[in-house]
Structure 1
Amino acid sequence: MTKLSPRLMAIFLIAILGTAVCGFAAPAPAPAAVEPVEKSRKDLTPRPDGWTPADQVKAEEEAKKEYPFVKDVLMEDLPLRQQRLRGLGLGLKDVKRSYMLLDSPYADTFERKYGPVRFMHAKHAAALDGDCAACHHLRPADESAPETVACRACHQDNRQEDGRERIGLKAAYHMQCMNCHEKMKKGPVSCEGCHAKRPTDHRELVKLPENPTPQQVTKECLRCHEQAGEDMLTTAHWLWRGPSPYTVEHRKSVMSGKGTTTLNNFCLSAISNEKRCTSCHAGYGWKDNTFDFSNRENMDCLVCHDTTGSYKKAPPAAGMPDPKVDMVYVARNVGPTSRKTCGVCHFSGGGGDAVKHADMSAQLYWPDRNCDVHMGGYDFQCVECHKTRNHKISGRSTSVPVSEGTRACEDCHTSSPHYGDSLLDHHLNKHCETVACNTCHSPIYSKCAATKTWWDWSTAGDKQRAVHKDKYGKPDYNWMKGDFRWKEASKPVYAWFNGFMERRLLGDPIEPAARGFRPGEQPTPARKADMVVTDITRPVGSLKDPRSKITPFKIMSGIQPADAVNRYLLVPHLFPYDKEDTAAFWKGTDWQAAFREGMAKAGLPYSGEYMWVATNMYWRIEHEVMPREHALSCVQCHQSLKGERTCDRCHQDSREAKFRELTEKGADFELLRMMGRDVGELIGKSDYIDFKRLGYKGDPILYGGRFTRLPLGRGPDAK
C-alpha cells in the first residue's frame, strides 16, 4: 500500500469530510421572500392652502418693484449733506420700512448663486446714529424729488444711455455694505454671511441603484462631500455629546450629552433605550453601545437635507428610514435644511408634538404670524438664526449641556434693539441691560399647542386604567409612561440667568433632604406636591450679578425613580432590544428588571432598592416670539403704573408722549382669548413679574433698580 504524505492525507480527509457534510446535512433554508414595499413621495407636512408669511411677501413685492431711473443727481459734499439732513430733522423716525429684501432684477442679471439679503433698515440706521447720508450720499437733482431714494433708483445698469458710467446695483450694494462693515469692524463681509446659498440641482448628479440601502445613499453623498463627512464625525448631532462650557463644575467636559451622562424628567435617559431614542439621530443603526461612530456610511444625510417632505424615520428601528421612503427620489432632491427637517425631531422631542419644548411644536412648520413673528411673518428657516459652520450648529438648549456656539437675539438686533429715539425707546433699551428679550416678547409659552408640564412615572404599568382627555384634547395617562399634565398659553416662570446652568448628570446625588416614597405607597396629590424637589437643571444668576437677566422659563415637574441607597437618579431600560427581551419595562412592566438592566448599561451599581422622587427642569423660552405690538406693556409688570401717576413721576415734559397710552400699550390678553388661547387668568394682570421673588424690595419704579436708585423717584408712598 502506497504511503501518503501528511499533506496529501490532510487533503484526502478534508475531501471525505466535505462530501459527508454536503451529502448528509439538511439543506439550507431558502431566504424568506421580501414583500415589495410601495414607495411614497408624499409630502408629510405640505404647505397649507392660503398660508403666507405676510411680512416676507410684502418685502418680496417691494423688492421686485421697478423705480424710475434717476439720471441726474445733485452733487453735494458729504459732510455738508450730513449737516443739512440733520438740520431738516431727518433721522430714525423717518425710516418707513424697517425690513426689506435686497433682491432686484438689476442685481441678478447674469447669475443666481445666492439668495436675497434680509436687510434690517432700522437697525442699520440706528447703528449709524440716524445718519441717512451715510448710505443715501446723493439726492436727485429734481427739486421735487425726496431727499432719499432707493438704491436701485440711481444704480441699475452700469452703463447709461448717454455713455456715462455709474456702478450697477450689485456693485453698489457690495461696495456700500462691505466697505461699511470693514470700516466699523462689525457685520459680515463673506458671501454666505449675508446671503443664503442657492442649492445645487442634484437630479443628474446622484447615481444610485433602483432600491439602494441607506448606507449606499450616504456613500454616494460622500463621493462629492467627503469633507462634510469628516466634519460630521465630531458634531453633537452625530455623537450626542460634546463640550459643555456653560455647565458649572463640568465646563471642561467633552463627554456630556444625551447619549452619555445627561438626564431629564421626560424619557429619563437614552442609555439602554437607544433603539427607540435614535429615531431622532442623524445616523443609521445606533441600537446599543456597540455603534461605530467612526463609520461615515452610517450617517443620515437625508434626514437634514431632504427638500421633498417625504423622508421619515421608522420609529423603533434605530434611526433607519421608513421602508416606504423613495430613497433615490429624496437623494436627488436634497438641499438646505429647513423648519421641516429640523422640526421633525425638535418639534416632537419627548415622544410627541410639543411634549418637551415649551416654545416649539408642529405649528411652527407653517405658523401664524402671532405664533412666531420670525417664522410666520418672515418665513425664517431655523438655520437663519442657528448659524452653522462645518456642520456644527450654534445655539443651545438649557436642557442639554452641549454647546457648539451661542446665539442670542442681540446678534441681529444689537444690545439696543429699540431703534427709535423716543422716550419709550430709551427706557426699553435700558431694560435690555436687565431683562432678556423674550421676557417681554414671549409673554406666554406654548400658545400654539399645549406642552407637557408634569410627568409622573410612578403610576406607569396599569394597562387597565381608563385614559381621559383634558380640555386641550391631550391624554392624562399612558400605561407605558404614567400620569401627565398639559398647559397651553402659560405664563413663564422668571429667574435670573447669566448663561450658565447647574446640572445633575448621571451619578450625581439627589437633594439631601429628598425622601420620596417607596413602591406600594399611594401618596396623595397634595403629598406629591409637597415633596422636596431635586432640580435636574437650574439657571445660574442673581440680582447683583451684572451679567444676569430676568429670563423666562418653563418648569417641567415630575416624579421619577431614584436609587434609595445610592441616592442618585436611576436609568430604566424601557424599550426592548428584541422579542426575547423581558427586562424592558414596556415589555414586562417590571421596574426591578428595568433598573438592573438600565444601570448595568449606564455603568453604575444598583442597590436593588428604589424610591420615587420629585424633580424639576428649567427650559428657557426662545421661540414663539410675538410681534412687537403684542409684547408686554409697562403696566403689566409695574403695578405702580396702575395708579394716578405714571411716567410723570420723573418726567415733567409730556409734549412728545401720552404717558398713560405708553404704559398700557402691549400684550392684549383679551384679544388672545378671543383667538382661542387659554389666557383668561392673565387678563388685567398688573403684577406679571414677581419682583420680590427676584430679590427686589418691590416694584423697581418705587424702590429703585438693582444697582442704582432713580434720583427723581417719589418713593413707595406715591399713588
Structure 2
Amino acid sequence: MGVSASIAADKPAENGDSELAKDKAAFNPACQRKAFEHAHETVPFVERVRKETPGERQQRLIELGIGIKNLPATYFLLDSPVIRAEEDRYKPVRFMHGKHAAVVQDCSRCHHLRPEAEDASETVRCSACHQQSFNPKHPERLGLKAAYHQQCMGCHEQMNKGPVDCKGCHASNVPDHKNLVKLPEKPDPMQVTRECLRCHENAGKDMLQSAHWLWRGPSPYTIGHQKEVQSGKGTNTINNFCIALAPNWPRCTSCHAGYGWKDADFDFKDMSRMDCLVCHDATGTYKKAPPAAGMPDPKVDLVKVAQSVGSTSRKTCGDCHFQGGGGDAVKHADMSSVLYYPSRNCDIHMGGYDFSCAECHKTRNHKIYGRSTSAPVAEGSRSCEDCHTAKPHYGQKLLDHHLNKHTETLACNTCHSPLYSKCKATKTWWDWSKAGDKSRKPKKDANGNEDYSWMKGEFVWTESGKPSYAWYNGYVNRSYIGDKIDLNRVTQITSPVGSMKDPRSKIYPFKIMKGIQPADAVNQYLLVPHLFGKGGYWDELDWEKAFQTGMKAVNLPYSGKYTWVRTEMYWGIHHEVMPKAFALSCSQCHESLKGDKTCNRCHQDNRDVNFKELAHKGTDFSFMAKEGRNVSHLIGTTDYIDFKALGYKGTAPSKFLWNTEET
C-alpha cells in the first residue's frame, strides 16, 4: 500500500479526451493511472534519520513554512509492492492527502521524522522509512503495514474522526471461485443461488432486509412519512415515466435483484429467488432477459459467471440504474451508459480516478448508502462532504476562503455540475396523452433520439441542459399512489423541501422532469395503467381497460372517467462531476463581476494575482460548443443561477458598481 501520485493539471480535454471510450481497452483514467504508477515505485530505504523531538519537528516545519501549499499531490493511492509481496487480500486504499492536511493542520503528525542528509526532502513517503517487518538492522522500526495501521487508526481514534475498522478503508479482493463453486453443467438460476448460499447464508439473510430485494423500506426523509417502513417502488410510489410497478411486474422487475417477480404473490422469503450474479458478475457477460420478471438471458453461461464472481462494478450497477425508465439515460440526468468508461471531463471521479459506484455508495450487510429525491427509501446517506469536508477548498489563498464561505449555502454540484446530461441526452418531457397513434412516424433529434412512440407517447430529450436550482435541506415532498391532487394545477410528484431562511438548506441543481399523465376525473388522484402483457394498453390500446386493471392491482377504485394532467418530478444532479477547471466562475453567477473591476473593488491589487482573470475563469462553454455540446446559448452568460427566484431581493447592477470618478 505505498504512497503518492502526481495529479494531472485540471484543464479542458485534449486529443479527444471528451470522447467516450468505446470499451475497457480504450478507457484511460489518467489520474488513477498516474497514482498507480507512483504507488508502485520502489523508493530507496532511509537508513538514518535526524533525531528530533515531536515538538522540535513541528517547529521546524512551521519555520520552513511547509503546509498545504507544498503538497505534491492531493490524492495518493496506497498500494505498495512492499506489502503486496507479503499478502494480496485487499484492494488499494485511496488516500486524500489534501483533506488530511487540511483537517490535521500539522504535517509533523505524519511526517514525524526526516532523513539525516541535509539535502534530503523534509517530507518523504512512509515507505522510505518503513518497509519490511522485523528488519534486523532496524528493529525499532515498524513494517509498512503496521506503520499505516498505527498512524491512521491511532489518529482516527484520537480525533474521533475517520474509520477504525478494516472495512472502513479496505475493500476485500474476492477469491477465485473456480474451484469453490460446484454446479451441474446447465443449472437453473435458483440452483446457482443455493450454491452461493452454501457459504454465504448470512449474506442471504442480510439481503432479505435490503431495499434492492424488497423495493421498499424506511422513508425518513419524506415529509409526512418519516416513520413508515413500507414505502417504495414495490408498494406505493408513482412517477411520470412508466408510472408504476403494479400490474406491470414482469417488465419492470427485469431489473430486480431476484428471479420470477411476475405478480403480487412473489415470495420475498425465498432466498433461492435472489439473483447474486446480477451484482457480482465479473465476466461482463451476465444479463437479464426483459421482459421475463428478472430471469437471466437463456444464453448466459451461468456456471462460468458463478465461478468468476467479483466485487460490484459500474457495469453491474449501471446495467439497471443507467437504464431506468426503459432506456439509456431516460430517468437520470447524471447517469448513462457513458459512465461505463467515461472521460475525466464527463465525470472526474469515474473517468479520472476510476471510481466504482461502491466507492461512494458504501455497503453494510447489503444495505447501500445513498438516497435521492426520486425514491423514498434510504439505507444511509452520502454527500460530497463525507470525503471533501465542509470546507473543500484546501488552499490558504483568499479565493479558497471565499469559496469555502460559498459552501455554507451552495451544494458542491451547484458549481461543479453546471450542466446535466452533457455526455448523453436525457428525457425531460413525456406526454402519455399522445400515445396510441401507430401511423405517426417518429422524428429524430440531432442526437438520434426519437420524439414519439405509439406505446408511450411524445418525448423531448435534452442534452447539456442547464439545471434548475432550488433550496434543499434533504427532505422531500412526495405524492404517492392514491394521494389527492388538484386536477387544474401542475402536480409535483416530488419536490425538494427547503428555503432561504432554513439554515440546513443549500442551493442544489435539479433536472425537472415534466409530463402529462392520466388522472381519475372524479376521485382526483393519478391513475395507474396496465401497460405490459395480455390485456394491457400496449396489447389492446384501450385506456379504459388499462385503468380498470391497473387500479384494481393497487387496490383503489376507478370512477370510469379519466383526464390528463401535468406533473413534475425533481431529480437531483449528483454524478458527472466535472474537473475543477470547469466549475462556474465568479462572473458567471455574479453580474457585478463581469467588467474590468472585479475583486479589486474591495481587495488591493496584488502582483501575484490577476483578479479579472481569476473572476472570469470558469466553465468554458465555447470549448464545450466546439466539442459538439449544445451550449452555444450559454456562452457569455452571467447570473447563471437565478438568485431572485431563490428568494434574494437583488440590487440593480449600478448600485453594485463603484463610481469610478469618486475612486
TM-score normalized with structure 2 length: 0.94
Corresponding position of 1:287:
262
Structure 2: distance between partners of 1:661 and 1:185 = 41
**Structure 2 residue 519 is matched with structure 1 residue 562:** yes
Letter in 2 for 1:81: R
Structure 1: distance between partners of 2:312 and 2:657 = 56
Following superposition, the deviation at residue 148 of structure 1 comes to 1.0
Secondary structure of 2:564's counterpart equals strand
Corresponding position of 1:535:
492
Given that residues 596 and 612 in structure 2 are in contact (C-alpha distance below 8 angstroms), is that contact kept between their aligned partners in structure 1?
no
**Structure 2 residue 76 is matched with structure 1 residue 76:** no
Considering only aligned residues, what root-mean-square deviation do their CA atoms show, in Å?
1.5
Secondary structure of 1:553's counterpart equals strand
Q: Which deviates the most, 98-107 or 495-504?
A: 98-107
Following superposition, the deviation at residue 716 of structure 1 comes to 3.3
Report sequence identity in percent: 65
The structure-2 alpha-carbon separation of the partners of 1:306 and 1:163, relative to structure 1 and needing over 3 Å to count, comes to closer
Alignment of 1:384-533 (within 5 A): 384-511=359-486, 514-515=487-488, 532-533=489-490
Given that residues 592 and 657 in structure 2 are in contact (C-alpha distance below 8 angstroms), is that contact kept between their aligned partners in structure 1?
no
Secondary structure of 1:541's counterpart equals coil
Alignment of 1:549-628 (within 5 A): 549-576=506-533, 581-582=534-535, 584-628=536-580
Following superposition, the deviation at residue 640 of structure 1 comes to 0.8
Following superposition, the deviation at residue 191 of structure 1 comes to 1.4
Corresponding position of 1:678:
630
Following superposition, the deviation at residue 118 of structure 1 comes to 0.4
Structure 2: distance between partners of 1:470 and 1:46 = 22
**Structure 2 residue 147 is matched with structure 1 residue 172:** yes
Secondary structure of 2:290's counterpart equals coil
Following superposition, the deviation at residue 658 of structure 1 comes to 2.2
- CA offset digits 1:252-309 (Å, max 9, x no partner): 1111101111000000001100010000100011011011111111111110110001
Structure 1: distance between partners of 2:24 and 2:623 = 24
Corresponding position of 1:185:
160
Secondary structure of 1:197's counterpart equals coil
Corresponding position of 2:98:
122
Following superposition, the deviation at residue 196 of structure 1 comes to 1.3
Structure 1: distance between partners of 2:314 and 2:132 = 37
Corresponding position of 2:239:
264
Out of 65, 89, 94, the residue aligned to residue 41 of structure 2 is 65
Letter in 2 for 1:638: H
Letter in 2 for 1:560: Q
Corresponding position of 1:641:
593
Letter in 2 for 1:102: L
Following superposition, the deviation at residue 46 of structure 1 comes to 8.1
**Structure 2 residue 503 is matched with structure 1 residue 546:** yes
Given that residues 35 and 76 in structure 2 are in contact (C-alpha distance below 8 angstroms), is that contact kept between their aligned partners in structure 1?
yes
Secondary structure of 2:503's counterpart equals coil
Following superposition, the deviation at residue 673 of structure 1 comes to 1.2
Corresponding position of 2:656:
716
Structure 2: distance between partners of 1:599 and 1:655 = 71
**Structure 2 residue 27 is matched with structure 1 residue 87:** no
Structure 1: distance between partners of 2:260 and 2:575 = 32
Corresponding position of 1:688:
640
Corresponding position of 1:243:
218
Structure 2: distance between partners of 1:475 and 1:330 = 35
Structure 2: distance between partners of 1:206 and 1:312 = 20
Corresponding position of 1:51:
27
Structure 1: distance between partners of 2:138 and 2:368 = 49
Following superposition, the deviation at residue 656 of structure 1 comes to 4.9
The structure-2 alpha-carbon separation of the partners of 1:159 and 1:297, relative to structure 1 and needing over 3 Å to count, comes to closer
- CA offset digits 1:492-528 (Å, max 9, x no partner): 00000000000000111113xx33xxxxxxxxxxxxx
Given that residues 448 and 489 in structure 1 are in contact (C-alpha distance below 8 angstroms), is that contact kept between their aligned partners in structure 2?
yes
Out of 110, 122, 137, the residue aligned to residue 147 of structure 1 is 122
Following superposition, the deviation at residue 643 of structure 1 comes to 2.8
Structure 2: distance between partners of 1:159 and 1:573 = 70
Given that residues 476 and 496 in structure 2 are in contact (C-alpha distance below 8 angstroms), is that contact kept between their aligned partners in structure 1?
yes
Structure 1: distance between partners of 2:312 and 2:22 = 16
The structure-2 alpha-carbon separation of the partners of 1:51 and 1:464, relative to structure 1 and needing over 3 Å to count, comes to same
Structure 2: distance between partners of 1:717 and 1:354 = 44
Q: How many residues get paired? A: 639
Structure 2: distance between partners of 1:344 and 1:175 = 40
Given that residues 244 and 253 in structure 1 are in contact (C-alpha distance below 8 angstroms), is that contact kept between their aligned partners in structure 2?
yes
Letter in 2 for 1:551: Y
The structure-2 alpha-carbon separation of the partners of 1:132 and 1:318, relative to structure 1 and needing over 3 Å to count, comes to same
Secondary structure of 1:357's counterpart equals coil
Following superposition, the deviation at residue 108 of structure 1 comes to 2.2
Secondary structure of 1:257's counterpart equals coil
Secondary structure of 2:175's counterpart equals coil
Following superposition, the deviation at residue 165 of structure 1 comes to 4.0
Out of 613, 625, 645, the residue aligned to residue 661 of structure 1 is 613
Structure 1: distance between partners of 2:591 and 2:37 = 43
- CA offset digits 1:96-149 (Å, max 9, x no partner): 1111111111122321111111011111101112x2111111111100111111
Structure 1: distance between partners of 2:608 and 2:222 = 47
Secondary structure of 2:242's counterpart equals coil
Structure 2: distance between partners of 1:191 and 1:718 = 57
Structure 1, unaligned runs of 5 or more: 1-44, 516-531, 704-713
- CA offset digits 1:440-469 (Å, max 9, x no partner): 111100011000000000010111111110
Secondary structure of 1:115's counterpart equals coil
Secondary structure of 1:90's counterpart equals coil
Structure 2, unaligned runs of 5 or more: 1-20
Corresponding position of 1:314:
289
Structure 1: distance between partners of 2:52 and 2:113 = 7
Corresponding position of 1:102:
78
Structure 1: distance between partners of 2:26 and 2:550 = 49
Corresponding position of 2:17:
none
Given that residues 46 and 309 in structure 1 are in contact (C-alpha distance below 8 angstroms), is that contact kept between their aligned partners in structure 2?
no
Letter in 2 for 1:718: W
Structure 2: distance between partners of 1:100 and 1:356 = 35
Given that residues 605 and 611 in structure 2 are in contact (C-alpha distance below 8 angstroms), is that contact kept between their aligned partners in structure 1?
no
- CA offset digits 1:210-249 (Å, max 9, x no partner): 1111111111111111011111111111111110000001
Secondary structure of 1:483's counterpart equals strand
Letter in 2 for 1:239: L
Alignment of 1:292-371 (within 5 A): 292-371=267-346
Following superposition, the deviation at residue 645 of structure 1 comes to 2.4
Structure 1: distance between partners of 2:608 and 2:499 = 36
Structure 2: distance between partners of 1:558 and 1:249 = 25
Letter in 1 for 2:372: S
Secondary structure of 2:358's counterpart equals helix
Structure 2: distance between partners of 1:162 and 1:546 = 58
Out of 274, 294, 301, the residue aligned to residue 249 of structure 2 is 274
Given that residues 639 and 686 in structure 1 are in contact (C-alpha distance below 8 angstroms), is that contact kept between their aligned partners in structure 2?
yes
Following superposition, the deviation at residue 715 of structure 1 comes to 5.0
TM-score normalized with structure 1 length: 0.87
Following superposition, the deviation at residue 651 of structure 1 comes to 2.1
Following superposition, the deviation at residue 648 of structure 1 comes to 2.4
Structure 2: distance between partners of 1:655 and 1:184 = 40
Structure 2: distance between partners of 1:214 and 1:547 = 47
Structure 2: distance between partners of 1:228 and 1:571 = 35
Structure 2: distance between partners of 1:146 and 1:297 = 59
**Structure 2 residue 219 is matched with structure 1 residue 219:** no
Letter in 1 for 2:416: H
Structure 2: distance between partners of 1:298 and 1:572 = 27
Given that residues 343 and 362 in structure 1 are in contact (C-alpha distance below 8 angstroms), is that contact kept between their aligned partners in structure 2?
yes
